[in-house]
């Protein structure tokens, strides 16, 4: 039976996580008339991976950093809360020997304008199978996208376009083309490419990559102002006792809700959730990257990515550096770290990289390491990972959102949160499991129809 908005008003809904996904979901529920929605947030402030840090009376971003006009959910938020933004200086590219190039120079030297534009056209409009950047989530995508980005680019003859932006994507913390499935990277690559064509080659209109004047976290705080948020409330136990009966414990107090929405890392729920075998299997497969942000004062630095550090053999080196304010010698350094790498060793590598461009770090202001970009392998995608994950939505009165389901940007996580609430809590709610596949291989049971489907996926790959 559809949950009409009138019935919905009586449901108690718990959201676990006060990052942008949880806040957006709560806001959407309020708009639909839900009157009893509680956000549980472990930390002392809202925002999660949105984290602004005040230094000498200016906000610096230790988490989410930039957006552009294609991020319509973000620009709507900015409008709604009257938040001003400004353009970051155009990113440059640093070559192996320390030479600094504009993107225009890089394109001319490495690929030639014609080859680049043909590849870019193919990637953006030429029928290359890719999830349109406005598609929400990862369900029902072409299995060709499950291959690592490097292979995908080669099959579609778009290397000149993808290679040009690899250091930008790696710099944004999304790993390496050799390893990361195109399904993920193709969510953002077209946006970066369009921006590059507009700004780097001065073709078409563009606003450029922007930063918020008062910091991203200010928006989260404004959103939270209209919602019920319990800060310093890590959830430590969840029992799904029966229909419309979810018991949630935080700070030693247990409360009952009709629905629970997870807007936090799903693998971490396994510490306290009465997980089903399928939940356990799917959540254990999630992988993360180690992403280090260091705020420094320095000399001779600027906004740029290191072209040569976009492959796995250079893990630990600086991927990206950003100067948010051109009138201050303060820089953000971004590094992907190896599994066992020490943060102190990463700093040594950073100093070497900076010396190569005749710059130097004069002061370390602060550092933050993140478990970043939840994703799964090509193999798990081929087994239908997202079909199974999406099939869980609504089962046991439970829903899931966040970067694993949508991709690690504010735009994509927000779009997914809005879509999930609309689909499942709005007037025309789909019933849970409507599109459910039969069984996941992790269940240890086979299913003929599923095996046939997998074989057909394998044939296409």
Ligand X SMILES: Cc1cc2nc3c(=O)[nH]c(=O)nc-3n(C[C@H](O)[C@H](O)[C@H](O)COP(=O)(O)OP(=O)(O)OC[C@H]3O[C@@H](n4cnc5c(N)ncnc54)[C@H](O)[C@@H]3O)c2cc1C
3-state helix, strand and coil shares in percent for the chain, rounded to the nearest 5: 40, 25, 40
Which H or E run includes 79?
Answer: helix 72-80
Measured from the CB atom, is 128 or 269 closer to ligand X? 269
Does 77 help bind ligand X (rule: CB under 6 A)?
no
Least distance in Å: CB of 259 to ligand X?
A: 16
Q: Per CB under 6 A, which region of 60-68, 82-90, 138-146, 322-330 contacts ligand X?
A: 60-68
Does 211 help bind ligand X (rule: CB under 6 A)?
no
Least distance in Å: CB of 375 to ligand X?
A: 12
**Which two tokens mark 270?**
């396994």
Quick one: which of 43, 151, 159, 281 contacts ligand X (CB under 6 A)? 43
Q: Per CB under 6 A, which region of 12-20, 25-33, 98-106, 150-158 contacts ligand X?
A: 12-20
Measured from the CB atom, is 381 or 417 closer to ligand X? 417
Q: Per CB under 6 A, which region of 116-124, 323-331, 408-416, 438-446 contacts ligand X?
A: 408-416
Q: Per CB under 6 A, which region of 36-44, 128-136, 306-314, 343-351 contacts ligand X?
A: 36-44
Query: What are the C-alpha distances in Å from 254 to residues 42, 45, 233?
Result: 15, 22, 12
Measured from the CB atom, is 141 or 413 closer to ligand X? 413
Measured from the CB atom, is 192 or 383 closer to ligand X? 192
Does 65 help bind ligand X (rule: CB under 6 A)?
yes
Measured from the CB atom, is 59 or 173 closer to ligand X? 173
**Residue with tokens 């130097």, as numbered in its chain:** 360
Query: What are the C-alpha distances in Å from 196 to residues 18, 104, 202, 420?
Result: 33, 9, 8, 32
3-state secondary structure of 171: helix
Say how many Å lie between the first and final Cα of the chain, rounded: 39
d(CA 16, CA 262): 5
What residues pair up with 16 in beta bridges, in sequence order? 40, 262
Does 105 help bind ligand X (rule: CB under 6 A)?
no
Does 286 help bind ligand X (rule: CB under 6 A)?
no
Quick one: which of 186, 410, 415, 420 contacts ligand X (CB under 6 A)? 410
Residues 145-174 that bind ligand X (CB under 6 A): 173
d(CA 309, CA 406): 26
Measured from the CB atom, is 289 or 383 closer to ligand X? 289
Residue partners of 131: CB distance under 8 A and separation at least 6: 138, 141, 145, 183, 186, 187
Residues 384-403 that bind ligand X (CB under 6 A): 402-403
Asked if residues 67 and 209 have their Cβ atoms less than 8 Å apart, the reply is yes
Does 337 help bind ligand X (rule: CB under 6 A)?
no
Quick one: which of 196, 264, 275, 349 contacts ligand X (CB under 6 A)? 264
3-state secondary structure of 16: strand
Least distance in Å: CB of 216 to ligand X?
A: 8
Residues 222-241 that bind ligand X (CB under 6 A): 234-235
Least distance in Å: CB of 324 to ligand X?
A: 11
Residues 16-35 that bind ligand X (CB under 6 A): 16-22
Measured from the CB atom, is 65 or 286 closer to ligand X? 65
Q: Per CB under 6 A, which region of 110-118, 131-139, 260-268, 424-432 contacts ligand X?
A: 260-268
Does 190 help bind ligand X (rule: CB under 6 A)?
no
310 phi and psi angles, rounded to 5 deg: -95, 15
d(CA 344, CA 3): 53
d(CA 144, CA 129): 8
Whether the CA torsion 278, 280, 283, 284 is positive or negative: it is: negative
Quick one: which of 144, 293, 310, 376 contacts ligand X (CB under 6 A)? 293
Quick one: which of 168, 331, 372, 425 contacts ligand X (CB under 6 A)? 372
What residues pair up with 15 in beta bridges, in sequence order? 39, 261
3-state secondary structure of 132: coil
Least distance in Å: CB of 431 to ligand X?
A: 25
Measured from the CB atom, is 5 or 237 closer to ligand X? 237
**Residue with tokens 């000399």, as numbered in its chain:** 299
Quick one: which of 48, 175, 200, 426 contacts ligand X (CB under 6 A)? 48
What residues pair up with 245 in beta bridges, in sequence order? 242
Measured from the CB atom, is 101 or 231 closer to ligand X? 231
Closest CA to 292 of 262, 256, 325, 320: 320
d(CA 310, CA 176): 6
Least distance in Å: CB of 23 to ligand X?
A: 7
Asked if residues 252 and 217 have their Cβ atoms less than 8 Å apart, the reply is no
Binding residues (CB under 6 A) for ligand X: these are 16-22, 40-43, 48-50, 63-67, 173, 234-235, 263-264, 268, 291, 293, 370, 372, 402-403, 408-411, 413
């Amino acid at each position: 039976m559809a949950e009409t908005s009138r019935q919905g008003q009586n449901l108690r809904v718990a959201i676990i996580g006060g990052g942008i996904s949880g806040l957006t979901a709560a806001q959407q529920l309020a708009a639909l008339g839900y009157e009893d929605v509680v956000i549980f947030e472990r930390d002392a402030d809202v925002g999660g991976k949105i984290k602004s840090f005040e230094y000498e009376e200016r906000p610096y971003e230790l988490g989410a950093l930039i957006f552009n006009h294609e991020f319509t959910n973000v620009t709507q938020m900015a409008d709604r809360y009257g938040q001003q933004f400004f353009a970051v200086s155009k990113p440059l590219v640093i070559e192996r020997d320390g030479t600094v190039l504009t993107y225009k120079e890089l394109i001319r030297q490495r690929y030639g304008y014609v080859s680049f534009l043909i590849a870019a056209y193919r990637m953006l409009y030429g029928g290359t199978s890719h999830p349109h950047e406005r598609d929400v989530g990862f369900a029902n995508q072409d299995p060709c996208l499950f291959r690592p980005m490097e292979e995908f680019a080669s099959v579609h003859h778009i290397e000149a376009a993808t290679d040009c932006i690899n250091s930008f994507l790696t710099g944004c913390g999304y790993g390496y083309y050799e390893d990361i499935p195109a399904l993920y990277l193709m969510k953002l690559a077209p946006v970066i490419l369009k921006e590059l064509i507009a700004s780097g080659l001065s073709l078409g209109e563009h606003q450029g990559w922007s930063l918020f004047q008062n910091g991203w976290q200010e928006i989260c705080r404004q959103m939270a102002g209209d919602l019920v948020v319990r800060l310093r409330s890590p959830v430590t136990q969840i029992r799904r006792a029966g229909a419309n009966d979810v018991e949630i414990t935080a700070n030693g107090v247990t409360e009952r809700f009709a629905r629970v929405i997870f807007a936090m890392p799903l693998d971490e729920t396994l510490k306290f959730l009465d997980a089903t075998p399928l939940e356990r299997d799917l959540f254990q497969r999630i992988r993360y990257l180690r992403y280090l942000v260091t705020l420094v004062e320095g000399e001779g630095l600027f906004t740029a990515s290191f072209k040569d550090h976009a492959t796995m053999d250079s893990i630990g080196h600086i991927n990206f550096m950003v100067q948010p304010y051109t009138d201050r010698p303060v820089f953000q350094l971004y590094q992907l770290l190896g599994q066992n790498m020490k943060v102190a060793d990463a700093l040594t590598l950073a100093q070497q990289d900076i010396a190569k461009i005749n710059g130097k770090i004069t002061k370390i202001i602060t550092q933050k390491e993140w478990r970043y970009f939840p994703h799964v392998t090509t193999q798990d995608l081929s087994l239908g990972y997202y079909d199974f994950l999406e099939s869980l939505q609504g089962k046991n009165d439970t829903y899931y959102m966040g970067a694993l389901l949508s991709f690690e940007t504010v735009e994509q996580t927000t779009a997914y949160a809005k879509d999930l609430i609309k689909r499942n809590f709005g007037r025309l709610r789909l019933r849970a499991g409507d599109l459910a596949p039969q069984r996941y291989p992790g269940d240890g049971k086979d299913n003929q129809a599923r095996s046939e489907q997998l074989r057909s996926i394998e044939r296409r790959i």
